[in-house]
Amino acid sequence: MKKNANPKSSTDKFSTKLGAVAAAAGSAVGLGNVWRFPYIVGEDGGAVFLILYVIFTIAISIPIMMTEFAIGRKSGLPVTSAYRSLAPHSKWGVIGVLGVLTAFLISSYYNIVSGWTLYYAVSSMGGWLSGLSEVAVADYFSSLSADPFRCIIWMMLMLGATAAVVAQGVQGGIEKYSKILMPLLFLLIVVMVVRALFLPNGLDGISFFLKPDFSKLTTKTVFDALGQSFFSMSIGMGTMTTYGSYLRKSENIATTASHVAVVDFMVAFLSGAVIFPCVFAFGVNPSQGPGLVFVTLPNIFNQMPMGQLFASFFFLLLVVAAITSSVSLLEVVVAYLKESFKYGRRKATLVASLLCLFFGILCSLSQTIFSVFDNITANVLMPIGAFLIVLFAVHRLPKDEFRAEFEAHGVSFRLFNAFYFLVKYAVPIVILIIFANGILALLGISY
Ligand code: PFF
């Protein structure tokens, strides 16, 4: 979680290593891991996607996260002003503006999915999902998602909770809780994996998830894998630049980013290891889209001893994970409004939330707008943002100054040259190629 908005005061720095990792992991781990990852894997044919996802995360996303941390810490400012302050009188400030736009668009549909999660937490506590047949579980979700009124009400509750945290300056409290609650979510998912493996046909799900079928490799798979990796790691839009500004100089940027990536990957991987056995055991279509997690998991809870209790805990913990991520999204928009319009924190939070509410309503009324926001943010805006960020790092920052940020306070970073090579050549070239191919595929142009 984010600390006080003024990054200059020393009390705003994370006091412990765990604090820094936990905060960035709080933003990274969210619905992207448990909701988005399995549904995209399902749409893109399973294990081939997973392989690409791992490669991109290691070779592209971790270096970008490190770059964002370094720029944020060097400038000591949130994303909206970090790039402008390091390169005054230039156009690089556009990275901040793009980040605000991306954060705003993601918030608009993210809170709808958070709302569904809260609804499922309440439904589980009320026992309304208990004992439902597989068909009834599927109907339960479709009746919710097809009912804009209910979606809007539950979204407003989640947006309200997010706004309440952001309005207070996101201090202490939620970070403390999430340090306890997130490992608990992790543990619960591990228990669910064990149960899922013993479902009839469960192992077919595991082989769909882990055994690559290269005939399923398409341009879309590659495009989606890169986008999902960016989305899941919260990179390419400046959230991690802002977190970098809270890192202490003595913190090792490379290990911090790697730890966040490992935690983030594990949660996504384990979610897949629960959901795909369920998909095969309960006859769900793996490519059925954004409802996947909601039409599979209630079935497994129905087959677990104390399933209602497990379900209630699981969805509640997922709500917390969603809030720690959506707080980091809203904060980007709030910081921008504060800075550009000189609003106070409360007013900025109110205006940002009302804007998100308005666009959230549009997303809940139209499946198409929802999907466009979902795809365009992860697959288009985040890659553009990431591309500009690495370009900034290698073309605008002197190499020795950039390096010094990684080696501050005697921290050694022996792999700096390899890292710099990745950031200078591999990352921008790969993004460019995948991006151009993906756009052509989106437009239906094949060659
Ligand atoms: N990484 C978050 C998730 O996986 O749910 C989503 C997200 C949060 C994306 C914050 C971007 C961001 F700035």
**Closest-CA residue to 222 (of 379, 374, 371):** 379
Rounded to whole angstroms, what are the CA distances from 323 to 209, 222, 314, 330?
Answer: 28, 29, 14, 10
Q: Which of 33, 178, 231, 333 to mutate to test the pocket of ligand 1 (most atoms within 8 A of CB)?
A: 231
Closest-CA residue, ligand 1 atom 7, reads 234
Tell me the pLDDT of the chain (447 aa) as tens digits.
Answer: 333 444 444 335 555 555 667 788 989 999 999 999 999 999 998 999 999 999 999 999 999 999 999 999 999 888 888 999 999 999 999 999 999 999 999 999 999 999 999 999 999 999 999 999 999 999 999 999 999 999 999 999 999 999 998 888 755 556 667 778 888 899 999 999 999 999 999 999 999 999 999 998 999 999 999 999 999 999 999 999 988 988 888 889 999 999 999 999 999 999 999 999 999 999 999 999 999 999 999 999 999 889 999 999 999 999 999 999 999 999 899 988 998 899 999 999 999 999 999 999 999 999 999 999 999 999 999 999 999 999 999 999 999 999 999 998 888 899 999 999 999 999 999 999 998 888 887 777 655
pLDDT value of residue 245: 86
* 31 pocket-lining for ligand 1 (C-beta < 6 Å): yes
Please tell me the distance between residue 33's alpha carbon and the centre of ligand 1 in angstroms.
9
The reply to whether ligand 1 has any atom less than 6 angstroms from the CB of 237 is yes
Write the residue with the smallest CA distance to atom 9 of ligand 1: 234
Q: Please check whether residue 243 is in contact with residue 72, taking contact to mean a CB–CB distance below 8 angstroms.
A: yes
Residue recorded with tokens 């989106």: 442
Mutate to test the pocket of ligand 1, among 325, 333, 334, 356 (most ligand atoms within 8 A of CB): 325
Show the tokens assigned to 160: 């309200």
| Three-class DSSP category at 251 | coil
* pLDDT for residue 250: 87
Q: Which tokens hold the place of 303?
A: 């087959």
pLDDT at 80: 87
Q: How far apart are CA 137 and CA 141, in angstroms?
A: 7
Does 99 contact ligand 1 (Cβ within 6 A)? no
Q: Which of 63, 73, 82, 84 is nearest to 386 (CA)?
A: 63
The pLDDT value given to residue 4: 40
pTM: 0.93
Q: How far is CA 241 from CA 67, 89, 236, 258, 305, in A?
A: 8, 20, 9, 16, 44
Q: Whose CA is nearest to atom 4 of ligand 1?
A: 32
Can you give the pLDDT at residue 92?
Answer: 94
Residue 197 class from Cβ within 10 Å (0-12 exposed, 13-18 middle, 19+ buried)?
A: middle
